Amino acid sequence: MTEMILGALLIMFMRICDVSLGTMRTILVVQGRKYRAALTGFVEVMIWILAIRFIMQHLDNIINLFGYATGFAIGNIVGITIEQKIGLGHIQLNVISRHHTEEIVDILRRNKYGATVLPGEGGTGDVSLIMVITQRKLQREAIKLIESIDNNAFITIQASIPYRGFIQRHRK
């Protein structure tokens, strides 16, 4: 019985690893990082093959199937959590503040974030759009700075894949 449980736990652990890597690989593919995606995919598939091989050799053990499914579910959670911690890539923050545009731009620039201000017109009149492109791992920090000035600012976030040019790295 102990062998059966250890086998299921091994399968679960392998699935957590390969599904987490699959999450990271998908993000790398979307960001166009083809060589890192290929290497990650290679390791991911090798782990998956070992897991499925073990299951096929022990099809009579139903607990292995639960280990496989549990590992898949937990792997998704772990993969997303890792990706959120690493924060691969860049994001674009779009900010509209009714009365605090200059203060927000000032605090962002003082903290080494590039901020571009564009004029616009909203339903209630003239507005300014603050556009910030930064590393995804710095997203929370940038939003905290914005909210320290205007907690009611309208903020949208979208993925940004730089094509050409230079984005100054955040320096403290």
- Do 64 and 109 fall into the same domain? no
Looking at the DSSP bridge assignments, the partners of residue 132 are: 93
Whether residue 171 lies inside any domain: the answer is no
Query: Looking at the domain assignment, is residue 166 inside a domain?
Result: no
Confidence (pLDDT) at 168: 61
Sign of the alpha-carbon dihedral angle for 162, 165, 169, 170: negative
Answer yes or no: do 101 and 77 share one domain.
no
Locate 36 and state its tokens. Answer: 């890192």
Ranges under pLDDT 70 in the chain: 166-172
Helical spans, DSSP H, in 33-167: 34-57, 62-86, 101-110, 139-149
128 contact partners, CB below 8 Å, separation of at least 6: 96, 97, 101, 117, 118, 119, 120
pLDDT-above-70 percentage for the chain = 96
**Maximum C-alpha span of the chain:** 72
pLDDT of residue 166: 67
Torsion of CA 70, 71, 76, 77, to 10 degrees: 70
pLDDT in tens, 86-136: 888 889 999 999 889 999 999 999 999 999 999 988 888 888 999 999 998
State residue 67's pLDDT score: 92
Distance separating alpha carbons of residues 150 and 56, to the nearest angstrom: 58
93: DSSP letter: E
Q: Are residues 81 and 105 in the same domain?
A: no
Does residue 20 sit within a domain? yes
Q: Is 44 helix (H, G, I), strand (E, B) or coil?
A: helix
CA distance readout (Å), 121 to 57, 87, 96, 99, 125: 66, 33, 11, 14, 5
What is the model's pLDDT at position 60? Answer: 83
Residue 172 inside a domain? The answer is no
The domain boundary, picked from 38, 58, 86, lies at 86
Q: Quote the pTM value.
A: 0.68
Sheet holding 116-122, edge to edge: 116-122, 125-135, 90-96, 154-160
Query: Is 167 domain-assigned?
Result: no
Overall number of domains in the chain? 2
Residue range of the domain that includes 27: 2-86
